[in-house]
Amino acid sequence: MTGISFAPMHATCAAAPGPPSADDLAAAEALLVEDKIGPRDGAGKTAVVAMSGGVDSAVTALLMRERGYRVVGMNLRLFSSDDEDHRANPCCGIPAMDDARATCATIGVPFYAVNMEVEFGEAVVQKFVDEYAIGRTPNPCLECNRHVKFRHLVQRAKQLGADCLATGHYVRLETRNADGNVRMYRALDSGKDQSYVLYTLSQEQLRFLQFPLGRLMKPEVRTLARGYGLPVADKAESQEICFVGNRSYADFVAARRPDVTVPGEIVSESGEVLGQHKGLVNHTVGQRRGIGIAATKPYFVLHLDTAANRLVVGDRDEGRAVSIAVTDVSFTSGAWPDVSFASEIAVRYRGQPARATVLPGSEAERTVTVTFPSGSGPIASPGQAIVFYDGNEVVGGGTIERVSRQGQTAGLAES
């Protein structure tokens, strides 16, 4: 049963820094201006801050406190790894919770832990395994945001009587007085921007959320953490999928679905056999390295044919999308468009944007079709998120269902 509890103390995984110097504090205080951190509008208000145990969420809690809010830190216990001390997945288990708790103690705010392993396992981990097993490319961070973090954290924040939920995501929100809608924009730090995994947020959620890091650069976040002596100021960032940890995603999936490691043929678009693969789970659409065939030219993975257990490879240009069928579409404005519109689209986290036209389909079925000028489409895979941008503004997005590629026979599409 899901519950909220005070967390017990364990050994933390972040080495506590020494006391900040006068220069560190001065550099941090120089960043506490509204253009950087937002207005000092928190007097008499409560903010629940999602605490992951990393430096970004720690500084988020600090900034909300500095803006005058009564801050409550909340950590989600999402996944327990098989190793006893949780070192394989330190950002999901006890070590992360302890670092979040230590940060809250440092800045003098209460801390709660919420056990959501069951919800995370069903909505994120199981879907991750199932999608890879059928040759699709899921995005677990997006699914976690959609089905766990912003669904359950918003609910719990409201149950506590909070006025907002703040997280350490790098994205900007702005309210336009003309329509009252909250608009979402890419973060100023393009290298940290996380708008790609936040397009599913509704207007109701956006009005309750705050992202105070959206106008800061990552080095500035570290400066704030060091200046205020936060215990995670120098904690390294996790680069892996959180629940996979220091294993490969293929090993993680194979441990739960051994059938995905069955060997099969590597073939060209025309069906010529070029080699043997060791299981489709080891490959993703767009992959160039590690395919396992010797050739005089580079090959790219074009398609995972799970029905025949074949890996289809070819030239990069053969893999470029001509059109993409998209399902489960949402628009951040909450309104379904009446006509087609030009957009920049991204099919990967911080992927290179591509110009496209979005043709709205059935609002009831939440579908659109995205088309590209000849030769300009990205290499895309079913299961990936596709996000629509207007400049830096996030317009919406959905899940790729089918991709029609340049290298395919006319009129055919893969699923």
**pLDDT tens digit sequence for 325-356:** 999 999 999 999 999 999 999 999 888 899 99
* pLDDT band for position 11 (cuts 50, 70, 90): very low
pLDDT on residue 106: 96
What mean pLDDT do residues 130-148 have?
91
What mean pLDDT do residues 14-23 have?
74
**Is residue 200 exposed (0-12), middle (13-18) or buried (19+ Cβ within 10 Å)?**
buried
Question: How many CA atoms does the CB half-sphere of 388 hold within 13 Å?
Answer: 28
Of the two residues 238 and 389, the one the predictor is more confident about is 389
Of the two residues 293 and 265, the one the predictor is more confident about is 265
Where in the chain are the domains?
4-168+212-227, 262-317, 319-405
pLDDT at 245 over 80: no
Q: Mind listing the pLDDT tens digit for each residue in 95-116?
A: 888 999 999 999 999 999 988 8
Burial 68-101 (b: 16+ CB within 10 A, else e): ebbbbbbbbbbbebeeeebebbbbbbbbbbbbbb
pLDDT on residue 118: 87
pLDDT at 206 over 50: yes
CATH of domain 262-317: 2.30.30.280
pLDDT on residue 33: 97
For 4-168+212-227, CATH number out of 3.40.50.620, 3.40.50.80, 3.40.190.290, 3.40.50.150 equals 3.40.50.620
Q: Is the pTM of this model over 0.75?
A: yes
* pLDDT band for position 16 (cuts 50, 70, 90): low
Query: Whole-angstrom Cα distance, residue 329 to residue 42?
Result: 34
Which residues lie closer than 8 Å to 354 by C-beta, 6 or more apart? 344, 345, 346, 347, 372, 376, 377, 378
pLDDT at 322 over 90: yes
pLDDT on residue 8: 37
* Homologous superfamily of 319-405: Translation factors (2.40.30.10)
Pick the closest to residue 385 from 194, 126, 160, 216 (CA basis): 194
What mean pLDDT do residues 11-15 have?
49
Of the two residues 4 and 189, the one the predictor is more confident about is 189
What mean pLDDT do residues 268-290 have?
92
pLDDT on residue 352: 86
Please give the positions annotated as active site.
Answer: 144, 242
pLDDT at 88 over 80: no
Cα 289-292-297 angle, rounded to 5 deg? 65
pLDDT on residue 191: 94
**Is residue 201 exposed (0-12), middle (13-18) or buried (19+ Cβ within 10 Å)?**
buried
Mean pLDDT for the chain overall: 88
pLDDT at 119 over 50: yes
Question: How many CA atoms does the CB half-sphere of 35 hold within 13 Å?
Answer: 2
pLDDT on residue 158: 95
Report the range of poorest mean pLDDT among 57-71, 78-92, 221-235, 319-333: 78-92
pLDDT on residue 1: 33
pLDDT on residue 2: 39
pLDDT at 171 over 50: yes
Query: Whole-angstrom Cα distance, residue 319 to residue 322?
Result: 9
Token pair of 206, please?
A: 């956006």
pLDDT on residue 40: 96
Q: What phi and psi, each to the nearest 5 degrees, are found at residue 106?
A: -65, -40
Other beta carbons within 10 angstroms of residue 308's beta carbon come to 10
What mean pLDDT do residues 262-267 have?
95
pLDDT on residue 296: 80
Q: Mind listing the pLDDT tens digit for each residue in 141-167?
A: 899 999 888 988 999 999 999 999 999
What mean pLDDT do residues 248-260 have?
90
